[in-house]
Structure 1
Amino acid sequence: MSNSLFENLQQDVKRLPGLPGVYRFFDEAGQILYVGKARNLKKRVSSYFQRTQLSPRIALMVSKIARYETTVTRTETEALILENNLIKELAPPFNILFRDDKSYPYVMLTGHEFPRLASYRGKVDKRNHYFGPFPNSWAVRNSVQILQKVFRLRTCEDSVFKNRSRPCLLHQIHRCSAPCVGRLSAQQYGQDVAQATRFLEGNHSSVLSELEREMQAHSDAMEFEMAAVLRDRIADLSSVLQQQSMDAVAEGEGDVDIIAVAQMEGMVCVNLAMVRGGRHLGDRAYFPKGLRTHSGQLPLPTEILEAFIGQHYLDDQNEGEAATAQAIPPVIILNHSLQSISEAESDAGDELPENLQDLLSNQAGKKITFLHQPQGQRRHWLAMAEGNAKIALAKRLVETGGQLARARSLADILGLELESLEQLRIEGFDISHTSGEATQASCVVYAKNAMQSSEYRRFNINDITPGDDYAAMRQVLQRRYANFQELPVEKMPQVILIDGGKGQVEMARQVLAEFGMDVSLIVGVAKGEGRKVGLETLIFADGRKPLELGIDSAALLLVAQIRDEAHRFAITGMRAKRAKARTVSRLEEIEGIGAKRRQKLLARFGGLRGVANASIEEIASVDGISTALAEQIYKQLH
């Protein structure tokens, strides 16, 4: 930043109001750098342009500022909400970011007459009952297995449930009560659902007491077989509860989240552990972005915790009201006190952590308490969360070190001049089809020392001779780079990786030459003799000699990783496209089956396989399908 620009910004901030709001910093190219909140905009923004000692991370950001924008809000709470929304939407590089592409899983009980038990990800609705969220899919599977074993709820799809004529294997191994074939009434099944619901809500003792009363009642009525079933349920449930830390329930712990931040060798991990109904469900590790560790100083742990709490819990607003209320537990345990934020930065006008606590309380509709120095069982949970954060951090450091070594080796071999390995961007392409059917091309992206799945793209390839891989490669590259001049610098690849030999590389060279792009970007990966890993040859489009790296090459490991990911992404898309095309075409071939009837058939039986497995009578039961047409459909599919 020039002195004149710095002085202009100093003068300009003097005209800002002393009101709460949000500020945004931009560089010369108009790219967002940072989003912040303030109790007093004038005081906070001007603090960045004082001739005082700033941390290396903030000093690096200030040196890039060319202009700023502000938005005044009515209250500090509104500023906090707006700041979090803008961080999620804009992903500023100097903010601490906790974004990933995974939603939390839930246990779901559907709203049917005989509710179905299942795991679920995504937005919730009022028709079903959701429990969670759970930190990972393993925790959900574990809970579903417990509920199956103890309460024997159905897990089958509705299309299967409606069309069964005899109990399935799960009933035979005592994991389902077989409501599909009337082995128990809706009222009896509803009692099992109610008990499972109370168990998921943490009311374990009431469930056990109710089961014991039912067992005694059946025993008194000399219904010993049913009493034995309930006895086994009580034993299974008791066994499950003994495996959990049930002293937590005795202390009234209920629902608790534990958040621990750990730092090691310039890297940070935030570990979130979840306790629901006194049961420790497991944990999940986050690795924040935007720390700028190369600047020499990491943010304070309290600053990282505040960023995580705001982004993690406020993010649940998009999942619906039901998810929001359940996602924020009444107690959040931290391994650092947020109070130090206000002590260290209140002079600068930053938001006090109490407002974050009030905001979460208002959103959840209940009081949210932050604990820093817990006692008893909670102290044990916090120690476990801190230990898991350090383990996850050590694992990531090993993985990152290996990945960096691979990237550095490839950059050296290809002669790439990079200021940092984070600048290395590789786009890999592959073509997939089955004998020319359902041709798809994939583009995967390696950037910032990791695969960037959110930037993957699939391309449906049309208007070519079936099986012509060269034409398919030409089409996908033309579509990908038609507007390459408009790409920002950070989106322009240093390597374009082509899965194929000389023919595919030549096709890529022609396309890039037509667009005026540098053909030296192209690297083809030709399979070796017998397609054995390690015998691949790198082929170039700019006249360089082919290069055999050898099985021990770190660079080849990275090339193989990107190539295999491109192949996986292409083939999964091709199979889905092929299955869809075959499903539609086989039913379209039947005279008298239009779009509406086809849709009704697929909806009733859950897909083409279900239609094929159905009898003539079952097909005829679908609205609009006569017996004669059902016979025709059956013959066509068999």
Structure 2
Amino acid sequence: MPTDLELQVKTLPNLPGVYQYFDKEDTIIYVGKAKNLKKRVSSYFTKNHEYGKTRVLVKKIVKIQHIVVDTETDALLLENNLIKKYQPRYNVMLKDDKSYPWICIKKERFPRVFMTRRVIKDGSEYYGPYTSVKTVHNLLDLIKQLYPLRTCNYDLSQSKIDSGKYKVCLEYHLKNCKGPCEAFQDEESYTDHIKTIRNIIKGNFKESIDSLHEIMMGYAEEMNFEEAQRIKEKLDSLKNYQAKSTIVNPSINNVDIFSIISDETHGYANFFKIMNGAIIQSYTTEIKKKLEETDKELLELFIIETRQRFNSLSREIYVPFEVEVGQNIKVTIPKLGDKKRIIELSQRNAKYYRQEQFKQIKIVDPDRHTKRIMAQMQKDLRLSKEPRNIECFDNSNIQGTHPVAACVVFKDGKPNKKEYRHFNIKTVEGPDDFASMEEVVFRRYRRLLEENKPLPQLIVIDGGKGQLSSALKSLDVLGLRGKIAIIGIAKRLEEIYYPGDSVPLYLDKKSETLKIIQHLRNEAHRFGITFHRNKRSKSAIQSELEQIPNIGKQTITNLLRKFKSAKRVKSASLDELIEVVGNSRAQIVYNYYKKEKK
């Protein structure tokens, strides 16, 4: 570490704050927060970083600046603001929110309520942002149906209304507006509507439902059933809209839910806002990792950024694990009940979002999808290379008869069927799986070497330690041990064995790596069994025809070539048989089956 950097690190305070790394161009390349600036920054220069990008970052640092703050919360907010402002190369960045829609209650006399994508600081109220335009339209349609509001942009000052400057428009005649421009609606009743609308937007349906129910019952008592029915329709609309929100538990009120799942390169984070037991907002996004950040680091960033973006003032958050987001927010990690279930729902949303992203990438950018799968397999199976070509071997024999083996080939995680190969076991007598595996592996790779064809990066043996040891013997003879990675997969618990290691590896049952290996194994089994079945079937047919006296192998071959099966030979007429094998042999075959029938 250069002397000037050493000096800068040594003089850092043991206080909470934010640090900034600069490169030789005097550009900020990384911003970070710390409870203890000195300890955190020192760790970059004293640790041996396994991850390549972190090593590159450390090499590029020529200057360090820091800002001391009072609390950890201040450090979180300052870090977030600096990242947004400078957009350093090595910091995780969340997607911008400029295109998200908001609902605006305009600051004016007789306020309008409408959707906008521009937030103007003019004293108006803005709610959102919403992740779905459809949600905004549904909410505005409900508001329009319940409470008719004006849509014109007239200046409805009292003096202009009194002077009769405006006339009601078509919206009034369609009963979408009560005509405040001609004083047909007073400001007080209009303001009451705006208060109720504000509650509906915030997810507080209870007050509106109770109020409408009271008005409806009042009309019913006065025998004004037409008006009571009109209010009932509004009440039904409101209840229907509320029912479409995911109901959690009425006791869970004004809480933010956050969760994350991640893979090698990305994190997928979900946010729910819950009011009065209903999810009123949901947002899921993909976060690209820059320096192999942990789930905790990514979730903390997501929480701070999302709460700012959605203007959340909730004092409590539910998360799946411990996070540090400052003293002003109560962090709850639910262990059971409805609170735990809502965390699981959030995690499912993140998981489904990840699956959708994969499906889209598969269609739009198949190369990126393949590269991701290969990188994941390389990491999961601890390989030195990406397993672009994989070959899997399986033995098939039933009660020791007709022993055969199959080799299936996968390229980029998908079957390459034209490269599949069958093997008849030649040097082994009886049901000896280990010796059979040794033979087919030797024959396969001796041939590839002789023909100067490319070798696979990974061999998968269907079986446990015994079959794996047998395959290794053949690789040793051919001088390929160490040049090709080889593993065995046992059937019972899907454990994976490595050469020289008695402790198996257990992959996550849902991992894509295990799914590909299982697909390989199942393909090898299917391919081998089909070949074995055909061989036994052929043998059974042949042995039936061999029972006919004075009929040789050539005659049997000719009959099978023409009739395909012993059953068809049996049902053939004498003339059809003469046509294939001549008069004397046809008579023998025909008479044999005639006797059998009698």
TM-score of the superposition, structure 1-length normalised? 0.50
Of structures 1 and 2, the larger Rg is shown by: 2
SS in 1 for 2:45: coil
2:433 matched residue in structure 1? none
- Which of 170, 178, 189 is 1:168 aligned to? 170
1:19 aligns with 2:15: yes
2:267 matched residue in structure 1? 268
2:358 matched residue in structure 1? 397
Distance verdict in 2 for CA 1:194–1:44, change over 3 Å: closer
Distance 1:7 1:306 in 2: 34
- Which of 372, 387, 412 is 2:348 aligned to? 387
**What residue identity is the alignment partner of 1:335?**
P
Contact in 2 for aligned 1:167/1:180 (Cα 8 Å): no
Mapping for residues 9-158 of structure 1, pairs under 5 Å: 9-50=5-46, 52-102=48-98, 104-123=100-119, 125=121, 127-158=123-154
Distance 2:9 2:191 in 1: 64
1:193 matched residue in structure 2? 194
Contact in 1 for aligned 2:76/2:326 (Cα 8 Å): no
Distance verdict in 2 for CA 1:11–1:402, change over 3 Å: farther
Distance 2:305 2:95 in 1: 8
Contact in 1 for aligned 2:245/2:280 (Cα 8 Å): no
Distance verdict in 2 for CA 1:84–1:124, change over 3 Å: same
**What residue identity is the alignment partner of 1:147?**
I
SS in 1 for 2:326: helix
Distance 2:38 2:254 in 1: 41
- Please list the CA deviations of residues 305-351 of structure 1 after superposition, one character each: whole Å capped at 9, or x if unmatched: 112223333x45xxxxxx84xx232332223322xxxxxxxxxxxxx
SS in 2 for 1:258: strand
Contact in 1 for aligned 2:265/2:288 (Cα 8 Å): no
SS in 1 for 2:60: coil
The answer for unaligned runs of 5 or more in structure 2 is 370-598
Distance 1:184 1:73 in 2: 53
Distance 2:15 2:217 in 1: 68
Distance 2:166 2:367 in 1: 54
> Following TM superposition, by how much is the alpha carbon of 1:118 offset from its aligned partner in structure 2, in angstroms?
1.0
Distance 2:339 2:141 in 1: 27
Distance verdict in 2 for CA 1:224–1:17, change over 3 Å: closer
1:331 matched residue in structure 2? 316
Mapping for residues 222-621 of structure 1, pairs under 5 Å: 222-246=223-247, 248=249, 250-251=250-251, 253-264=252-263, 266-292=265-291, 298-313=292-307, 315=308, 324=311, 327-338=312-323, 353=324, 356-358=325-327, 361=328, 368-373=329-334, 375-400=336-361, 404=365
- Please list the CA deviations of residues 226-256 of structure 1 after superposition, one character each: whole Å capped at 9, or x if unmatched: 33322222222222223334453x32x2223
SS in 2 for 1:44: helix
> Following TM superposition, by how much is the alpha carbon of 1:301 offset from its aligned partner in structure 2, in angstroms?
0.6
2:427 matched residue in structure 1? none
Distance verdict in 2 for CA 1:406–1:176, change over 3 Å: farther
Contact in 2 for aligned 1:10/1:46 (Cα 8 Å): no
> Following TM superposition, by how much is the alpha carbon of 1:44 offset from its aligned partner in structure 2, in angstroms?
2.1
Moved over 6 A (4+): 159-164
SS in 2 for 1:63: helix
Distance 1:30 1:331 in 2: 40
SS in 2 for 1:287: strand
- Please list the CA deviations of residues 354-388 of structure 1 after superposition, one character each: whole Å capped at 9, or x if unmatched: xx332xx3xxxxxx322222654443433332222
Contact in 2 for aligned 1:171/1:178 (Cα 8 Å): no
1:447 matched residue in structure 2? none
Q: Percent identity?
A: 27
**What residue identity is the alignment partner of 2:106?**
T
Contact in 2 for aligned 1:84/1:311 (Cα 8 Å): yes
Does 1 or 2 have the higher relative contact order (CA < 8 Å, sep 6+)? 1
- For these two proteins, the number of residue pairs brought into alignment is 363
**What residue identity is the alignment partner of 2:86?**
L
1:214 matched residue in structure 2? 215
SS in 2 for 1:357: coil
Distance 1:28 1:48 in 2: 18
Distance 2:187 2:343 in 1: 43
> Following TM superposition, by how much is the alpha carbon of 1:54 offset from its aligned partner in structure 2, in angstroms?
4.9
SS in 2 for 1:336: coil
CA RMSD, 1 decimal? 3.5
